[in-house]
Amino acid sequence: MVEIATIATFLIAAMASLFMAWSIGAGSSGSTPFAPAVGANAISVMRAGFLVGILGLAGAVLQGQNVSEAMGRELIAGVSLTPAAVTIALTLAAVLVAIGVFAGYPIATAFTSTGAVIGVGLALGGDPAWLKYAEIATMWTLTPFVGGFSAYLIARALRDEPVPERVVVIGLSGLVGVLVANIEFAVLGSDGDGASIAAAVGAFLPGPVAAGIFVVTAAVALGWVVPTAIGMRNDPVRTERRFLLVMGALVAFSAGGSQVGLAVGPLVPLGDDAGIPLFALLAGGGVGLLVGSWTGAPRMIKAIAQDYSSLGPRRSIAALIPSFALAQVAVLFGIPVSFNEIVVSSIIGSGYAAVGAGGGVSGRKMAFTVLAWFLSFVGALLLSFGAFWTFEFLFA
């Protein structure tokens, strides 16, 4: 009887998790990765929604472990989330995100989910995890400045004359190759830890491990540089558009690795009790992201691409490179982060590098977005705390 009750409560919480995964797929992870490419007319809205769903599923399975563990175990100290707490937190967060999707405003999913989990955790009598909060707050605070400033510098470098655009694009492709070689994948590691392509392959090379990692990293970077250099010599416009689409794909993959944890992370303690492995949770959450991307993302893709900035290929590339780097930092350290915050701040930074004040960025839209980010966290925390306290009062 106990086992049946455990499975039943887990299934209820899992339904809330799938609803959350759909909302995330339709919102942040489904809309932001390819939004700059759509704004640059490099890909259609519907095709972007289709591709981001598949890539998000792959990222969820291969990179979703760290953020999921953080959401399920590290936001509250002293207590373990109960099925009722998980259901309330995920349902409230999903409803708030879904409202943002259909209203056309990018509600910060990470802010909403994190606030909801902390709210029910505190209502359960748990202690604040101050060290984790400091880590999360640092990432959230620095993201707009680092992403925006990096995108601004890249966009200026692509526009200015002293260094030829061809050289800048080739250099950026090498930088992306270095990042790809060193991002971690769950399937390459052991004992529950992930490993990068450079570390996994470099370990089999003769000599010191560090030397092997360097050799593999250089080889991967060269694999990016050579075709880019050939393409920039033969057809620069087509090569830039291809580079832009590849960056959108990398950001979409990273979105799956980060955002799936927001949906399935709170289920991790319940999954342990029910004997369900983390891989199964990640796969289920990835399917939810895919369905959300296919059914709800096009609306938000249009909002991000057209309402924030009039983007071209150069500014889009400038926005996606720091977005990819920041997303992978969040995945590596298990920090729940909003892709709306990452990509929108990068779009704004690249927009300000354009000729003219503001580069076509809507100041009114920026103000509403920042307000939505703040209210996402505070509102979710207060609502989930109150909802769970009321539930306990009525049914405990």
Task: Compute the distance between CA of residue 13 and CA of residue 265 in angstroms, rounded to an integer.
Answer: 11
343 falls within a domain = yes
Confidence of residue 4 (pLDDT cuts 50, 70, 90): low
Each residue of 301-333: b (16+ CB within 10 Å) or e? bbbbbebbbebbbbbbbbbbbbbbbbbbbbbbe
Predicted confidence (pLDDT) per residue in 84-95, tens digit:
888 889 888 878
Dihedrals φ, ψ of 77, to 5°? -105, 145
pLDDT value of residue 2: 46
122 falls within a domain = yes
pLDDT value of residue 179: 95
Q: Does the pLDDT value for residue 307 go beyond 60?
A: no
Print the domain residue range for 346. 2-151+246-315+335-395
The most confident of 72-86, 215-229, 288-302, 326-340, by mean pLDDT: 215-229
Residue bearing tokens 């779009």: 347
Nearest 5°: the CA angle 307, 303, 110 is 110
170 falls within a domain = no
What stretch of H or E contains 127? strand 127-128
| Packing angle, helices 45-63 and 278-307, rounded to 10 | 150
199 falls within a domain = no
List the single range of 201-205, 292-296, 324-328, 388-392 with lowest mean pLDDT.
292-296
List the single range of 17-26, 296-305, 370-379 with lowest mean pLDDT.
296-305
64 falls within a domain = yes
Task: Compute the distance between CA of residue 197 and CA of residue 203 in angstroms, rounded to an integer.
Answer: 10
Average pLDDT, the chain: 84
81 falls within a domain = yes
pLDDT value of residue 116: 93
pLDDT value of residue 354: 65
Specify the higher pLDDT residue, 237 or 328.
328
Task: Compute the distance between CA of residue 220 and CA of residue 217 in angstroms, rounded to an integer.
Answer: 5
- Count of the separate structural domains present in the chain: 1
Q: Which residues contact 24 (CB under 8 A, 6 or more apart)?
A: 30, 97, 109, 259, 260, 262, 263, 288, 289, 292
What stretch of H or E contains 391? helix 363-395
pLDDT value of residue 159: 79
261 falls within a domain = yes
pLDDT value of residue 101: 62
Reported as half-sphere exposure (CB side, CA atoms, 13 A), residue 172 has a value of 30
8 falls within a domain = yes
Q: Contact 71/258 with Cβ under 8 angstroms?
A: no
